[in-house]
Amino acid sequence: MTWVSNMVSESRALLGMALLRFLSACIELSAAFFMLSLANLRTAVRINAVLGLVGPTILMAATLVGIAGLSSQASQPRWVLVLLGVGLVWMGTR
C-alpha cells in the first residue's frame, strides 16, 4: 500500500512543479508584452531586473517541491548535497 501513496505523492509533486513552471512562463510572457507595450528601454531594464529575481525563486520552489516528492527514496546525506547545490545555484544568480 505504501507504493500507492508514493505514486500519489510523486504525481502531486510533479503537478506542483509543472504548475510552478507554468506560472513562471506566464510571468515571463506578461513581462515581455508589458515591455513592448511601454516601449521604454529604462522601464524594460527595470522589469528585466525583477524577472532576475523571479526565475531563481521559481527554481528553488520547484526543486523543493520535487525533493519533497522524492523524500522517501534517498538518504539524508544525498538530500543535503542536493539542497546545497540548489542553494549555490540560487546564490550564483543574485
Half-sphere exposure of residue 67, counting CA atoms within 13 Å on the CB side? 17
How many Å apart are CA 21 and CA 62, to the nearest integer? 7
Q: For the segment 1-48, what is each residue's pLDDT rounded down to a tens digit? A: 454 455 557 888 899 999 999 999 999 999 999 999 999 999 999 999
What is the pTM (predicted TM-score) of this model?
Answer: 0.70
Q: What is the DSSP letter of 40?
A: -
Q: For the segment 54-68, what is each residue's pLDDT rounded down to a tens digit? A: 888 898 889 888 888
* Main-chain phi, psi angles of 4, to 5 degrees: -70, -45
Report the pLDDT value the prediction gives residue 6, as an integer from 0 to 100: 56
H or E stretch covering 78:
helix 76-92
Residue 82 pLDDT exceeds 80: no
